[in-house]
A = this chain, B = another copy of it.
Amino acid sequence: MANQGMKIAVIGGGSSYTPELIEGLIQRHHNWGPLEVWLMDIEKGREKLEIVGDLAKRMVAKANGTIQIHLTCDRREALAGADFVIIQIRVGLLEARIKDECIPLKHGIIGQETNGAGGLMKGLRTIPVVLDIADEVQELCPDAWLINFTNPAGMVTEALLCYGSHHKVVGVCNVPVHMTATVADMLGVDKERIHIHFAGLNHLVHGLNIFLDGEEITEDLLQRLTDPDQQMTLRNIDPLPWQPEFITSMGVLLCPYHRYYYKTKEILEEELVQFQSGTTRGKVVKEVEEELFSLYQNPDLNEKPSQLEKRGGAYYSDAACQLIDSIFCNRQTIQTLNVQNNGAIAGIPYRSAVEVNCVVTKNGPKPLAVGELPVEINGLVQQIKSFERVAVEAAVTGSYEKALLAMTIHPLVPSDQTAKRVLDELLEAHHEYLPHFFSSQR
């Protein structure tokens, strides 16, 4: 990773998100020397890869960037000698997501791609593939940092840290960036002036303290969130407003995903209404994706189209590009990342993944010590971490019993009977992508 330049491999390069990533790289690459970006996708995704790749090349050209874009379906070629490997795959594509959403709803429980039954299934499909990639990274570019975007990012990072062969691993999520930006918007200030002490797990992260220009404003901000007009500003992340007294008694800023646990009833009702009307988030996304790809094909398009923001992944590429820049240039910035806990949060195993503020240097991210989580949030964090650990064990071993155990102990699954019914139907539906669950041992 010398200063003579950088090679980035993007696994799942045909993703509709790629233009945002390319935009981020264009903005920063002048600090890095010559940059090669290898967009890699599976054979089945070659068409999308070419559409996205061509747009990427036009974007670079327009910006007079010195980035070489390579397209390949050969993963080993993409990885060989890379400095950074970005994983943004979707095993089973959006079709699988739609099943993860619909089958649980059919049984009366929440269906969502990173939480509960759906999150478990996405983990079971994704983890074996990501562990294979880690093996190849260890073989072909052992000094590379592996940056994972793929959800459920908490489980995937846990699997890479505890069962993977390559340990230079970071999980990236846009939620903390988004929360910071939202707070800045609420206050009408530039987001660089806001700093938040984040701690928790992926999609279960908490702003423990919030600062404006270095002065703590946590209490004021939470008070402000209890005002229904002010809550409007957050509604684009979390349309269901929190109970005001709950916000202030909680004392920390919750992330949007917390509503799955503290508004289970209302969310489920909403999802069921949508489901009965024939729509789910996955179907919406699928339409957005189709629209995006038809835009991307326009040979006159040479920048990220504004429609991509509807897709929901804003700030992802920003977080990733900032991380790459911080590592490559040894910048000592603070970012909120999924890394090995190593004692940063009390009561979570040292080896496990947590989402926490880190200082990023050339040696990668180092978490800041958080100490004990406030008792109010510790219980749910511990419960989800226990679920994730069992789920990862299921994914790695292909054990039906472990998968059932993970499903049953998840707080969004209301009974062992429901767990079994939903699991059995989901396993059958995803048969193709779960080969290790369908070998001899069952």
A interface residues with partner B (beta carbon < 8 Å): 195, 197, 209, 211, 213-216, 242-243, 245-246, 248-250, 262-266, 330, 332-334, 341-347, 350, 359, 361-363, 366-372, 375-380, 382-387, 389-390, 400-402, 404-405, 408-409, 411, 414-420
Contacts and interface: CB of A to CB of B under 8 A. Distances in A.
Contacts of A385: 379
B246 A347 contact: no
A359 B416 CA distance: 35
A334 B359 contact: yes
Given A343-B346, A369-B369, A363 B404 contact: no
Nearest to A407: B246
Contacts of A195: 330, 361
A380 B380 contact: no
Contacts of A383: 379-380, 382-383, 411
Contacts of A389: 375
Nearest to A267: B415
Nearest to A195: B361
State the copy count for this chain.
4
A213 to B, nearest CB: 7
Nearest to A371: B342
Contact of A390 (B216, B332, B375, B414): B375
Given A245-B401, A401-B249, A211 B363 contact: yes
Contacts of A346: 343, 350
B409 A243 contact: no
Contact of A408 (B262, B350, B359, B382): B262
Contact of A330 (B214, B367, B420): B214
29 contacts: A211-B361, A211-B362, A214-B361, A216-B363, A243-B408, A245-B401, A245-B404, A245-B420, A246-B408, A246-B419, A246-B420, A249-B402, A262-B415, A262-B416, A264-B415, A265-B414, A266-B415, A332-B333, A343-B343, A343-B370, A350-B371, A359-B359, A367-B369, A368-B368, A377-B386, A378-B382, A379-B383, A382-B383, A382-B386
B387 A263 contact: no
Contacts of A334: 332, 359
A346 B214 CA distance: 29
B243 A420 contact: yes
Given A211-B362, A362-B213, A417 B263 contact: yes
A383 B377 CA distance: 9
A185 to B, nearest CB: 21
Given A245-B404, A362-B211, A405-B249, A417 B369 contact: no
A409 B249 contact: no
A195 B370 CA distance: 23
B372 A369 contact: no
Contacts of A213: 330, 362
